[in-house]
Amino acid sequence: MRNKVAEANSTAHPDYSLASSGGNYGIAVTGIIDRDGETLPVRLETSINGEAPTMEQGSSERPASSPITITATVSRLKPGKSYKLYRYDTLHAVPEESFNGNAAKAGKMWRIKITDGSTYRVKETISSSAIAVYRAVPVTAP
């Protein structure tokens, strides 16, 4: 088996690139698409960092899903101003603009209005096999 870390960090290729052939898999988050420029930073933390038991080498059978607690922290908030935090349950549902105008696509929504500080945290438990994408915008955004 090839050393994936060495391959991903090879100086002969762009940073973190892997060959398109073979068994190299991964996800790259290069940023969000927000054509209106309204979204606020949302940081996610999870209660666990992997599923157990780990997959056997060469297996395609995933471990059973389990509950996972997500803490979503919205930052750069201003006291007294109103915001909405959306959670989408599929990647296809995530809008690229007009987040408030596309509110019906969200699986869940929180109204946020802090009195002091600059962050807001929400915790929820989902299945480790689920998709959860978060976006936060001012209520005045399109």
- Using one digit for the tens of pLDDT, what is the confidence trace for 98-135? 999 999 999 999 999 999 999 999 999 999 889 999 99
Q: Which residues contact 93 (CB under 8 A, 6 or more apart)?
A: 105, 106, 107, 133
Per-residue confidence (pLDDT) for residue 91, from 0 to 100: 92
On the CB side of 15, how many CA atoms lie within 13 Å of its CA? 1
Which fold is adopted by the domain 30-48+66-138? Immunoglobulin-like (2.60.40)
- What confidence category does residue 58 fall into, taking pLDDT thresholds of 50, 70 and 90? confident
pLDDT value at residue 60: 82
* H or E element in which residue 137 lies: strand 133-138
Torsion over CA: 99, 48, 53, 30 (sign): positive
The domain spans of the chain are: 30-48+66-138
